Amino acid sequence: MQALGSLLFTLFMIAWTLFYAILFVLVGGLMSLPKRFGFIAFYAHCMLGGLRLLCRLDYTVEGLQNIPDEPHVALWKHSSAWETFAQFLLGPPKVLVLKRELMWIPFFGMGLALLHSIAIDRRAGASAVNQVVDRGRTRLAEGLSVLIFPEGTRVAAGETRRYGVSGALLASRAGCKVVPIAHDAGFYWPRRGILKKPGMVRVCIGPAIEAAGRDPREINDEAQAWIETAIRRMRTDA
């Protein structure tokens, strides 16, 4: 039954995403930016509702009080597709830093552009980091927070890789806070395959890290240590 539910959810996800992307492109340009994020939040709400109904996979959140009122840089663990939906429902509107190839997908890429996403060429090295800092400061000045997956790509549950420094550098230059966010979604919705395990994804939002005037590498190390420690604690408690 779990395999059937996972298959049905995958079909729902594809159909719902395609339908909503086309609809968003048609009407999104007529909306203010806050309403666009609200429109997408409904999409994410339905996605997670479908996941709960078909795969018996729900989620719980700890530490919402740690999210600052002011624009900030959110660093999320990236081990699943789950967090790409869930982030729209947790905290204030956030623009995504993502690989530019996603912007080339018909309708989907146009929708991401309507949300002021920051598309970068990950092969550009230092130039890519500068793109994140320059465009990120613009978004922060507009009153938007910035979400970065510091590992750059999805990693298998229980694994990690060196966090990229662009988020910490952006926060240091802009004088805003960094919010580390850990979760164990990858143990339920692996990065490969369609089978979803039933259970409860835990999301833990850490205390905001002051970044103004600090060495970005120090900020980055602090954020990575908090996220990876939190995930190990979740799995120990599971």
CATH of domain 2-237: 3.40.1130
Domain edges within the chain: 2-237
Tell me if the pTM is above 0.75.
yes
User: What tens digit of pLDDT does each residue of 111-150 get?
Assistant: 999 999 998 887 766 788 888 999 999 999 999 999 999 9
User: What tens digit of pLDDT does each residue of 14-48 get?
Assistant: 999 999 999 999 999 999 999 999 999 999 999 99
Residue 186 has pLDDT above 80, yes or no: yes
Strand partners, 98: 119
Residue 216 has pLDDT above 90, yes or no: yes
